[in-house]
Chain A
Amino acid sequence: MLKKTYDWIDERLGVTPIWRDIADHEVPAHVNPANKMSAFIYCFGGLTFLIITTQIISGMFLAMYYVPDIVNAYNSVKYITDEVLLGQIVRGMHFWGASLVIIMMFLHMLRVFFTGSYKAPRELNWVVGVLIFMVVMGFGFTGYLLPWDQKAYWATQVGANIAASVPVVGPYIRILLVGGADLGALTLTRFFAIHVFFLPAALLVLLGLHFFMIRKQGISGPL
């Protein structure tokens, strides 16, 4: 039955070559930790992706309880933390995962840098990687405000003032970022929208490009 369904789909869409290409491509020995322990440095990228996956999943579930509104945001986070079953764990996953993504991504970037893997023909993938880094920093900045506690509010205040220091256009950037003259309800909804819609969309596109290029170009050879 399963085979028949698969054949039916395969006949129409020809999916076999796609997954065979992914499944059967040969992975060189120098990135395989089973051969040489030091090859674990090649795992950082995959681990970053693993943590990004947990971030997406835990974020989706947190959104079931969270409201981006200055009156209720704090209360809803408090409700998640104190009252919902395992809310402490799910919030912990998202909170600590945020730092872990940064750490793993940083290590991955250093691996790529020190092994010179950004060199031709992989320049574009490096650029996409740096863009992913920016997007993840954006996630960190916008997500930090969402619990609407003291730490969140004042850190974002600093961030907004930094944006305002840009010569000439700074004050306008600040207004656009904050959604008004002062940090408040509009800031929170803005940051929420950026955090859960805009940045994830950008991240998924960039990750798609990143993986496509890795598959197309292969892993850089041994040093």
Chain B
Amino acid sequence: MNDNNQKDKEGLSRRQFLTYALGGTGAFMAAAITMPMIPFTVDPLRRVGAGNFVEAAKVSDFEVGVPKKVEFTVHKKDGWVESDVKLSAWVLKKQDGTFLAMSPICTHLGCQVNGGKEGDYFFHCPCHDSFFTKDGVPKPGVPATRPLDTYAIDENALKEGKLALGAISQRKA
């Protein structure tokens, strides 16, 4: 083949040009086949995140400074499997009237913490003796280092006198 010797003005040989065109066509075909697959695969991204709020209790149920346990049911949709998951939260009404809703899962290894202890530390985890204040902050030196996780609270529902809880998030140590 003498293609390589026949360079045109720009110095692009016919063979090179054809190779680029081939690359473009190949890329087009690959894209046409794989394009629908990308949204198909990343579909879960748009389902997780903005968790819906579930009404758990009334604002009037709580007194300032004493955490109270509330139980509520979340309707969970896992693909085509729908189920009702029972969750619980320890809710603390603070002096300024704001709420703190904590998950009862110990941040050490995931046991359920018990509440209602006397003294500085309101929560106790029976598994490895972690203590937490009623704000969920761990006692220095116990196995757990991170405060108890919190549920998001729907501000709009709060104005209507309802306590609605949403997604769980971690707090920094």
Contact = CB atoms under 8 A, between A and B. Distances in A.
| A contacts B directly (C-beta below 8 A) | yes
A61 B41 contact: yes
A61 B33 contact: no
Interface in A122-147: none
Contacts of B41: 61, 64
B36 interface: yes
Interface in A16-54: 50, 53-54
B37 A57 contact: yes
A79 B78 CA distance: 11
B33 A57 contact: yes
A61 B33 CA distance: 12
User: SS class of chain A's interface: helix, strand, loop or mixed?
Assistant: helix
A86 B36 contact: yes
Interface in B32-59: 33-34, 36-37, 39-43, 46
A53 B33 contact: yes
Category for how many chain B residues contact A: 10 to 19
A90 B34 contact: no
- By secondary structure, the B interface counts as helix
Interface stretch (A70-78, A104-112, A152-160, A166-174): A70-78
A65 interface: yes
Interface string B5-32: 0000000000000000000000001000
A85 B40 contact: yes
Contacts of B36: 86, 89-90, 93
4 tightest A-B contacts by CB? A75-B80, A85-B39, A79-B80, A85-B43
Interface of A: 50, 53-54, 57-58, 61, 64-65, 72, 75-76, 78-79, 84-87, 89-90, 93
